[in-house]
Amino acid sequence: MNLSAFYMMFLYFPENKTEYIPAFLEFAFFFVLCVIVFIGFQKISKKQELRTKELEQQILEQRKSQHLQD
């Protein structure tokens, strides 16, 4: 038996197209959830980036003040 024919046995195309509705709702739910998580990751990353830049500025100012005192 051909391998592609083997995989075709698992495909199911229902005659009644209303059977697609639960699959679509599940897909839409997880898609929206993924978008929300992605946006959350972006916001968290932006906050971490700003904190890192502030810390970097503090370190640079400390180094400048130490060089001026020496």
Cβ neighbors of 14 (< 8 A, separation 6 or more) are 20
Q: What is the pTM of this model?
A: 0.66
Q: Has residue 2 got a pLDDT over 70?
A: no
Give the chain as a DSSP string: --HHHHHHTT----SSGGGHHHHHHHHHHHHHHHHHHHHHHHHHHHHHHHHHHHHHHHHHHHHHHHHHH-
Q: In this predicted structure, what is the pLDDT of residue 22?
A: 93
pLDDT per position as a tens digit, 30-70: 999 999 999 999 999 999 999 999 999 999 999 988 877 76
